Structure 1
Amino acid sequence: MNAVIDTKPMQLDEQALERARTHLDDGAVTPSYGPWREEVIKLLNDALATELVCILRYKRHYFTAHGIASPSVADEFLEHANEESAHADKLAERIVQLGGEPDFNPDSLTKRSHADYNDATDLKSMVRSNLVAERVAVEAYRQMIQMIGDKDPTTRRILEEVLAQEEEHADELLDMLKD
């Protein structure tokens, strides 16, 4: 099999570097970010809504969990809530870096969230609803990463980090259901 060898010298695009010297008020967002930046901001705001709804669900479950196994499960809910809060912070920070505004509007959170809020009262239903939400988040992040591709490596890296932790959450919740 004959491989095609690229013999072009590796050089930076000097014109793109020159364009980066302008519009300093845009911060890290250079003209090469392209027209898809607004779409990425919308995706990130929807992901932010998902994280915020997950925080609220986990906090409710933390405070209302009861039963023989509840202390350890409740502690796990609190840990997950705190980790979801860190995800929300990362997403909001990236939205601002891209020149957008993070949408924390409580009136539209559940409409924009990929995951549902659930006010289950028994421990098994709590764990199950959180597992469903984590699986939905995993799928949403996977799709976002695929859509963003190489267009925005920084956003992709953030989403990959969040995805890895959401997968851990799903595994932990599944283990709780099996016990």
Structure 2
Amino acid sequence: MHQSTPASGTMKLDEDAIARARDNLEQGAVTPGIAPHAQEICKLLNDALATEWVCVLRYRRHYFTAKGLSSEAIAEEFLAHANEELGHADRLAARIVQLGGEPMLDPDTLSARSHAQYDESTELKAMIRANLVAERLAVEIYRQLIALVADKDPTSAHLLRDILAEEEEHADELSDWLERP
């Protein structure tokens, strides 16, 4: 294989890693360049996975218990967000498996590992506020995760960027709902 060298001649491909990529085919996407980081990345992704599941449960509870003048419309928003959070969870779990890890979905540990909190508010504004806080936390967590993994695992960073964009949309939508009378 030819080495890639720019005009300055300082960058080149790691020929040893490329050769090792031919070995251990059972590891799938876990090639020599990511292998030293895969376990740590899986732990970070599993904590994000726990956060997503707690968000799914909180949004679903709010969907079923929302009452008030605007409750039908905001309840539908809660359900849409719950479904999108479940999609995030599924994508994170799939990536964890791709990296050779196992998704940690033990219900007894989800809340402890989550960055967001479950909420049992009964008043509509409090529900919106609790979900907005959780979305803002998710936005910050995903930004930090992207910075941590971007140079080690570009594929996970891309996934996290996609999820981040949706979390930002959720936060904007909830902020708009919070400002309504």
TM exceeding 0.5? yes
Q: Which runs of 5+ in 2 are unaligned?
A: 1-5
Residue aligned with 1:128, SS: helix
Q: Which runs of 5+ in 1 are unaligned?
A: none
Q: 2 CA distance for matches of 1:10 and 1:45?
A: 34
Tell me which residue corresponds to 2:53.
Answer: 52
How much does 1:12 deviate?
3.7
The aligned amino acid for 2:178 is L
8 A contact 2:57–2:118 mirrored in 1: yes
1:10-57: CA deviation from partner (whole Å, max 9, x where unpaired): 754332221101001101111111422211100000000000000000
Matches within 5 A, 1:1-179: 6-8=7-9, 12-179=13-180
Tell me which residue corresponds to 2:3.
Answer: none
Q: State the TM-score, normalizing by the size of structure 2.
A: 0.93
Name the % identity: 61
The aligned amino acid for 1:65 is A
Aligned residues: 175
8 A contact 2:136–2:171 mirrored in 1: yes
User: What is the aligned-residue RMSD (CA, Å)?
Assistant: 1.4
How much does 1:116 deviate?
0.2
